[in-house]
Amino acid sequence: MIFDTDVVIWVFRGHEGAANLVESIADRQISIITYMEFIQGARNRQELKKIKDFLTDLAFQTMPLTENIGH
């Protein structure tokens, strides 16, 4: 399942409902656009590391930009 930026941010910020949804899905994906939006929001290098670790820990696969993802 491909997750939108908002959902990923909610999980990162500790929203229990969003976290339960993401954890219930085995195949977690985000688009390269979501990845870029998410890391752009990092306030400093420490938060950037936390974001990258978060995405790795939850095994999000980053999908390349395609016409379908763009839509």
User: What percentage of the chain has pLDDT greater than the value 70?
Assistant: 100
pLDDT tens readout for residues 12-22: 999 999 999 99
Count CB atoms within 10 A of the CB of residue 56.
Answer: 9
Using pLDDT thresholds of 50, 70 and 90, give the confidence band for residue 66: confident
In the predicted structure, residue 10 carries a pLDDT above the cut 80: yes
> How far, in Å, CA of 50 to CA of 71, rounded?
29
As a whole number, mean pLDDT of residues 36-62 equals 95
Number of domains in the chain: 1
- Contacts by residues 39-48 (CB-CB < 8 Å, ≥ 24 positions apart): 41/9
Domain with 42 in it: 5-70
Q: What is the mean pLDDT of the chain?
A: 93
Contact 32, 62 (CB under 8 A): yes
Contact 38, 5 (CB under 8 A): yes
